[in-house]
Each structure stands twice: as structure tokens, then as C-alpha cells.
Chains A and B, each alone.
Chain A
Amino acid sequence: MKTKLAVWAASLGLVAAAVPAFAHHAFSAEYDSTKPVKVKGVVSKLEWMNPHIWFYVDVAEESGKVTTWGFSGGPPGMLMRRGITKDVLKPGDVIIVEGFRAKDGSNNASGGNVTFADGRKVFAGAAEDVVPKGANGK
């Protein structure tokens, strides 16, 4: 037991910054890697469900029309094991999201990178990326 503690202590600080590739299925089956999407808006809803979380962002266009974009993130279990909980995105949060558009051209996309209004970055995606420090939103 003491040995185990020592091994654990040695790994302190080595918070994983690894690359979870697609988790449930092939990214290419659903999203178009040639069509990057970047929007800024207000989070309206979070669906913390399998096989991937979805979060919805109200994006105001210049005309005043509001379009609700859907972004797919990682599987809930995978995110929880990386210290990311369902409290990470709340309705009303202003965020910038970058991802890749769904193949059907609808207002849906993979949502790999999320940046909050205060500059804080969070990774909620399932595609290749690096887990930033403070990714658990704390």
C-alpha cells in the first residue's frame, strides 16, 4: 500500500494531455473535416447523454435572426474520467465554439474547442485535441 502511494505520488502533476480520437464512431461518417465552423453565442441547452454530449448555442446574425447551432462533444463517461462534469457548460454562458460542420449541412457540428468569454478554454470534444489546464472548469 505504501508502495502504491509512492508510485501515485511520483505521477502527481503528470495530468494527461493525450489525444482521445473519435470515441463512438468514425468522425468522417458524420462531419466534414473540410468545413470548419466557428461561432460565438449563448449556451441554451446541454444534453449530457450518450453516445456524445450535445450543447446548443444561440448565435445572433447581423440581421437579428437567431440561429441555434448544435455541437457534439465527447461521451459523458469519457469526459467525467477526464475531470469534466456536466457543470462545465451552463445555459447563459457566452462561448466561442470551433468544430466541423455536419455532413448534411445542417446547423450542427462537432464541437472540439470551447472558449468562454473570460478566455478560459475547455475541451468538450471527442476529436483530436489537447486537454487544457483547468479543463474541468474550476
Chain B
Amino acid sequence: MRNRFVRLWLILAAGAFAQPVSNRKAIPRAADGKPDFSGVWAGPGFTHKVGPHDTDTPSVTNFDPNNFAPYKPGGEALFLQKLTGDVNHDDPTAHCLPDGFPREVLSPYATEILEQPGTVTFLYEYMHFFRVVATDGRPHPKDLDLTFMGDSVGRWEGDTLVIDTIGLKPWPIDAFTTGLVRYHSDALHVIERFQYLDPTTVSLEMTIDDPKIFTRPWSQNFQMKLHPTWKLFEQICEENNRCEAGNCKPADVQQKSK
């Protein structure tokens, strides 16, 4: 009996000093054997330092110009647009308009993924957006209307979930607003590749294919961390957007002080 406890202790101790798991078998898998990405994630918009109290820190993330492909003639002027002073152009989110895809993915808010056979659903905390992505092999519909989140279809390449998105209206591609705002075109085509690195870490490679702006597609790698203790918070942009576009509405306590 005592020996058994000693053996158990040794096994526990050995486990505690083991290296992070990169064993493909250890990742969560759905009943159909596909990797299961279900759960609440800290996406690219976080500085990842998962600890005993889930200490990932929200941090706005943008695309890195070092990854950009060369511009097509005229592409740079289309992409890098000077700030005009009109927030509808410079940052429409100041009016609580959507940040759209792919900027939503980079936002410093959590994302919940729900995986079902044939469908992967993304619930984005920021502004309560969602994407329902069919993974049953169907193509994009023809004659798409351009939208903020676009049309996404998914497929599996082994253990990698690949999501293809088109049908996006020209909109800021990320939250960069230092002197310029970066607008993608209506031809933007984004490919996301999700792959487990270990049971709580997923690599997300985003490929930006905007043939009206760049000479070729380019990619940037991000990481996502699973947070079993998190849940999505409510985020209603219109609730108390007091200084919309720089015009502040007096609060009740301010009116009393006058």
C-alpha cells in the first residue's frame, strides 16, 4: 500500500516537471476526431501570459508593416488613408459602428468558439459580433453583398481548421490610427489557419490577400490562449459613449455642479 503511494507521488512529481505538451494526441478533440477549438480564448489582442489567475493582458494588436507585401501601383494610396478629422472615416468605432473583420479578431476582448460537426461559430465579445462558419465543404454564395464581417467558409486540412473569408466592404483593416488609417478594399480575401500548438495554445495564421492593394498575399502569425475560467462579458458600445466624436454630454453630477 505504502509503495503504491510512493509510486503515485513519483509519477505526480515527474509530471509536474515535464515540458509543455506538444503531443498531438493531447489536444482536445471532438467526437468526430477533429481538433476541438470550443472554449473561451484570449486571441491576438492580448499579451499572453497565462498563469494561475489567467493573467493574459488585453492589448490592442495591429498588423505589422514588416509583413506587408509590396504595393501595387496606386495600392498604397488606397490602403494608407490620411486622417480627415471625420470619425466616420478615421475610426467609425468611435460612433459605435462595427470594427468588422478582420479587425474584430485583433480586438483586446475575448472570443468564444463553439465547434459542432459541420459548423464552427465564433462569438466575439467586442460589440457582440459573431461568425457562423460552415465547415461542410460548401463554397461561398454567388453575388455576395458586401458586409462588415464578410462571408466565411471553412474546411479541415488534417488537424488545421482553414477559414476563407470574402465579401467585405472597404473598412479599416485594424485599429492603427496614428496619422493614417489603413483601409482594405472590397477585394479583400482573408485566410485563417487555426492549429493547436499545445492543449491550451492555438496558432492563428492570417493571410491577407487584397489584390487591389498588394502585389501578393502576405501573412502574420498570432497566438490564442484557452481560458477555462473566463466567460464573455457584455459589451454594449452605445451604453455610455459620453464623448462621441469629441462632443461630451454632461453627466448628471456635472449638471448639478453648475
B-contacting residues of A (Cβ < 8 Å)? Answer: 1-9, 11-12, 14-16, 18-26, 28-31, 44-45, 47, 49-52, 54, 56, 58, 66-68, 70, 72, 75-78, 80-83, 102-104, 106-108, 131
A2 to B133 alpha-carbon distance, docked (Å): 34
A-contacting residues of B (Cβ < 8 Å)? Answer: 12, 15-21, 47, 49-60, 83, 87, 90-91, 93-94, 96, 108-110, 125, 175, 177, 199-200, 230, 233-237, 239-248, 250-251, 253-254, 256-257
Report the nearest B residue to A108, measured CB to CB.
B248
* Secondary structure type dominating chain B contacts: loop
A30 to B249 alpha-carbon distance, docked (Å): 12
Given contacts A47-B251, A56-B251, contact A3 B60 (CB under 8 A): no
Q: Which of B18, B52, B83, B254 contacts A3 (CB 8 A)?
A: B18
Contact B60 A78 (CB under 8 A): no
Contact A25 B91 (CB under 8 A): yes
Give the one of B19, B233, B254 with max A CB within 10 A.
B254
Would you give 25 A-B contacts (Cβ < 8 Å), ordered by A? A1-B15, A2-B16, A2-B18, A6-B15, A18-B59, A22-B175, A23-B108, A26-B87, A28-B177, A30-B243, A31-B246, A50-B234, A51-B235, A51-B237, A56-B251, A72-B242, A75-B109, A75-B235, A78-B108, A80-B233, A81-B56, A81-B58, A81-B230, A104-B243, A104-B248
Contact B59 A20 (CB under 8 A): yes
Given contacts A20-B60, A54-B240, contact A6 B17 (CB under 8 A): yes
Give the one of A11, A66, A78 with max B CB within 10 A.
A78
Contact A51 B109 (CB under 8 A): no
List 17 extra interface pairs beyond A22-B60, A78-B109, CB under 8 A: A3-B16, A6-B17, A7-B50, A14-B49, A15-B49, A16-B47, A18-B59, A26-B87, A29-B87, A45-B251, A50-B235, A67-B257, A68-B251, A75-B109, A75-B235, A80-B233, A83-B55
Q: Which of B15, B233, B241, B253 contacts A45 (CB 8 A)?
A: B253
**Cβ contacts under 8 Å, B55 to chain A:** 11, 14-16, 83
Given contacts A3-B15, A70-B242, A103-B246, contact A24 B93 (CB under 8 A): yes
**Cβ contacts under 8 Å, A103 to chain B:** 243, 246-247
Q: How far is the CB of B112 from chain A (nearest CB, A)?
A: 13
A54 to B200 alpha-carbon distance, docked (Å): 35
A90 to B243 alpha-carbon distance, docked (Å): 23
A45 to B253 alpha-carbon distance, docked (Å): 8
Q: Which of A16, A29, A108 contacts B245 (CB 8 A)?
A: A29
**Cβ contacts under 8 Å, A81 to chain B:** 54, 56-58, 110, 230
Contact B93 A77 (CB under 8 A): no
Contact B248 A20 (CB under 8 A): no
Report the nearest B residue to A18, measured CB to CB.
B47
Contact B125 A77 (CB under 8 A): yes
